[in-house]
């Protein structure tokens, strides 16, 4: 088939100028436009930005010979969301997009400024670190759904979604983006400064699997190694600037003190159910303050044994002692009184 990229761009620009001059703010294109390598990598139109509702009528999909085309609208509001890294699969289209037509210089400048803001956000650790965790969380949510799928087609589809979000998370923590959306992912991986050891090998093994359980296992391994990779780097970065507010930790402990009393009581009367559920509540709290204050891992639930609740109680006491010591060593004020009279005296 003869290449008609240039002619199609000229057609689109002429269509806008003659029929949609007041309705289209921008026509955006990119070189290659997601084409396969055997097709010429010329400038092609990608999307347009309408300035009126009528402008959306320019949208169309069509086939010429054996080539499919899609000219689609993206509103300014959606561009702002993409610039805020809310649609990771669209970052490359914005980042590589070039203005083919602009209704005015102001529209062109607005587009370029938005793109520049997006690229700056990718370099900003305070922005891209939380985003990487957000994409990891989305991957984990897809995996949770994947656990209940029974058809190989659905399993593979979910696995692809998980891998795309994991790679977006890895790209994000490297301050970059996937250059071709969901294509050439491992090539993008090679361009990054850091990525999880073994990721590419496990990804290739996942592609080779034919059994549902085997695919799930490989996807689980990919999630685990990405979690470890991200948390290690994020925690290392946070430690450089971390200044804990131990007053908040003291207030949290004052709130939790009665829960420690509960677990001591439930274990003393051999109530496995109440001991277990109270322990779960405490473990959630421990994990939160561990992250917030960079504390040691406070593993309570591994000690649970309904045949030996005394061991569980002892572990709770050890964790409480560690927390009390941490707070006391920080020298922060504690609202702790040895009698009601002392409390009243201090709180008149």
Per-residue model confidence as pLDDT tens digits over 79-137 = 999 999 999 899 989 999 999 999 999 999 999 999 999 999 998 888 888 899 999 99
Pairing of strands 24-31, 67-73: unpaired
**Angle between the 125-146 and 212-241 helix axes, to the nearest 10 degrees?**
160
**H helical segments located in 20-151:** 76-83, 91-95, 105-123, 125-146
Pairing of strands 60-64, 98-102: unpaired
Q: Is pLDDT above 80 for 33?
A: no
Give residues with Cβ within 8 angstroms of 294, minimum separation 6.
235, 238, 239, 242, 244
- Mean pLDDT (whole number) for 231-248: 72
- 291-to-4, 83, 265, 309 alpha-carbon distances in Å: 56, 29, 28, 27
- Mean pLDDT (whole number) for 240-247: 72
Task: Name the burial class of residue 157, with classes exposed (0-12), middle (13-18) and buried (19+) by CB atoms within 10 angstroms of its CB.
Answer: middle
Asked if residue 212 lies in contact with residue 152, where contact means CB atoms within 8 angstroms, the answer is yes
- Mean pLDDT (whole number) for 268-295: 92
pLDDT digits 0-9 by tens, 121-144: 998 888 888 899 999 999 999 999
Q: Is pLDDT above 80 for 229?
A: yes
- 83-to-63, 117, 182, 218, 254 alpha-carbon distances in Å: 31, 7, 18, 32, 43
- Mean pLDDT (whole number) for 150-166: 95
- Mean pLDDT (whole number) for 208-221: 97
What pLDDT, on the 0 to 100 scale, is given for residue 287?
A: 92
Q: Please, which pLDDT band fits residue 274 given cuts at 50, 70 and 90?
A: very high
Report the C-alpha gap between 83 and 75 in whole angstroms.
12
Asked if residue 217 lies in contact with residue 208, where contact means CB atoms within 8 angstroms, the answer is no
Asked if residue 136 lies in contact with residue 173, where contact means CB atoms within 8 angstroms, the answer is no
Report the C-alpha gap between 272 and 305 in whole angstroms.
8
DSSP string spanning 248-289? HHHHHHHHHHHHHHHHHHHHHTT-HHHHHHHHHHHHHHHHHH
Report the C-alpha gap between 24 and 73 in whole angstroms.
10
- Distance between the two ends of the chain, CA-based, in angstroms? 89
Q: Please, which pLDDT band fits residue 210 given cuts at 50, 70 and 90?
A: very high
Q: What is the mean pLDDT of the chain?
A: 90
Token couple for 105: 């210089």
Q: In 10 A of CB 210, how many CB atoms?
A: 8
Report the C-alpha gap between 243 and 294 in whole angstroms.
10
Q: Is pLDDT above 90 for 342?
A: no
pTM comes to 0.77
What pLDDT, on the 0 to 100 scale, is given for residue 140?
A: 96
Q: In 10 A of CB 197, how many CB atoms?
A: 11
CA 177 vs. chain centroid, Å, equals 13
Task: Name the burial class of residue 68, with classes exposed (0-12), middle (13-18) and buried (19+) by CB atoms within 10 angstroms of its CB.
Answer: exposed
Token couple for 275: 């001991």
Q: Please, which pLDDT band fits residue 237 given cuts at 50, 70 and 90?
A: low
Placement of tokens 């008609």 in the chain: 4
Q: Please, which pLDDT band fits residue 238 given cuts at 50, 70 and 90?
A: low
Q: In 10 A of CB 135, how many CB atoms?
A: 23
């Amino acid at each position: 088939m003869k290449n008609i990229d240039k002619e199609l761009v000229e057609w689109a620009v002429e269509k806008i100028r003659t029929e949609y001059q007041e309705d289209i703010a921008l026509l955006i294109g990119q070189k290659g436009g997601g084409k396969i390598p055997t097709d010429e990598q010329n400038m092609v139109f990608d999307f347009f930005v309408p300035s009126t509702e009528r402008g959306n009528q320019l949208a169309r999909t069509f086939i010429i010979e054996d080539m499919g085309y899609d000219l689609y609208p993206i509103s300014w509001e959606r561009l702002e969301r993409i610039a805020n890294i809310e649609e990771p699969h669209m970052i490359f289209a914005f980042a590589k997009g070039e203005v083919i037509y602009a209704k005015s210089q102001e529209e062109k400048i607005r587009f370029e400024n938005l793109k520049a803001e997006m690229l700056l956000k990718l370099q900003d650790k305070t922005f891209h670190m939380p985003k990487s965790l957000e994409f990891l969380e989305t991957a984990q949510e897809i995996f949770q759904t994947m656990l209940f799928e029974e058809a190989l087609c659905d399993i593979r589809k979910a696995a692809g979604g998980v891998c795309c979000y994991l790679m977006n998370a890895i790209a994000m923590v490297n301050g970059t983006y996937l250059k071709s959306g969901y294509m050439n992912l491992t090539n993008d991986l090679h361009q990054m400064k850091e990525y999880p050891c073994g990721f590419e090998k496990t990804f290739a093994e996942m592609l080779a699997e034919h059994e549902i359980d085997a695919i799930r296992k490989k996807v689980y391994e990919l999630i685990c190694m990405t979690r470890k990779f991200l948390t290690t780097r994020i925690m290392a970065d946070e430690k450089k600037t971390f200044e804990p507010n131990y007053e908040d930790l003291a207030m949290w402990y004052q709130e939790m003190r009665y829960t420690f009393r509960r677990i001591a009581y439930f274990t003393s009367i051999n109530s496995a159910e109440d001991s277990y559920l109270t322990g779960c509540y405490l473990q959630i709290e421990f994990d939160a303050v561990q992250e917030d204050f960079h504390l040691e891992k406070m593993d309570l639930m591994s000690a649970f044994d309904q045949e030996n609740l005394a061991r569980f109680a002892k572990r709770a006491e050890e964790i409480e002692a560690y927390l009390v010591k941490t707070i006391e060593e920080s020298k922060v004020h504690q609202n702790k009184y040895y009698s009601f009279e002392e409390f009243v005296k201090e709180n008149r």
